[in-house]
């Protein structure tokens, strides 16, 4: 079973920041937090991952709470093309490497 909990859907205005929360209260010390997204009828696309420090790349920022029980993916300036299902996943970096998807959050970016 997935180890994360996400809201089923969210709306965001185009050009505004989209903040997608994820709860992973049972995360273990060696598990990373990964975010993927899936645009309709396509394969999932990697966005970002982190262990305990905040991370930023060209797509998004990942904020992980100090106790690591939750995180937030931030899309700083959402566009219509960011409309997708966003999946938060916890996974070991090596060893038991298996990506189990939960229900995800369906993000609607509106003009």
Kindly tell me which of 30 and 65 has the beta carbon lying closer to another protein: 30
- Window 78-97: residues binding another protein (CB under 8 A): 85, 87, 93-94, 97
Least Å from the CB of residue 98 to another protein: 7
17, 30, 103, 110: which one binds another protein (CB under 8 A): 103
SS (H, E, C) the chain: CCCCECCCEEEEECCCCEEEEEECCCCCCCEEEEEEEECCCCCCEEEEEECCCCEECCCCEEEECCCCCEEEEEECCCCHHHCEEEEEEEEECCCCCCCCCCCCEEEEEEC
Kindly tell me which of 13 and 103 has the beta carbon lying closer to another protein: 103
Kindly tell me which of 14 and 21 has the beta carbon lying closer to another protein: 21
Which long-range contacts does 50-56 make (Cβ < 8 Å, 24+ apart)?
none
- Window 25-54: residues binding another protein (CB under 8 A): 36, 38, 41-46
Q: Does 99 bind another protein (CB under 8 A)?
A: yes
Which residues are near another protein by CB under 8 A? 36, 38, 41-46, 85, 87, 93-94, 97-104
């Amino acid at each position: 079973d997935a180890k994360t909990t996400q809201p089923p859907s969210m709306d965001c205005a185009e050009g505004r920041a989209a903040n997608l929360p994820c709860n992973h209260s049972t995360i273990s010390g060696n598990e990373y937090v990964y975010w993927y997204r899936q645009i309709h009828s396509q394969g999932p696309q990697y966005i970002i991952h982190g262990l305990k420090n905040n991370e930023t790349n060209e797509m998004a920022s990942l904020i992980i709470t100090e106790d690591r029980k939750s995180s937030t993916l931030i899309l700083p300036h959402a566009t219509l093309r960011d409309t997708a299902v966003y999946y938060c996943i916890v996974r070991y970096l090596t060893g038991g490497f298996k990506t189990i998807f939960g229900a995800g959050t369906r993000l609607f970016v509106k003009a």
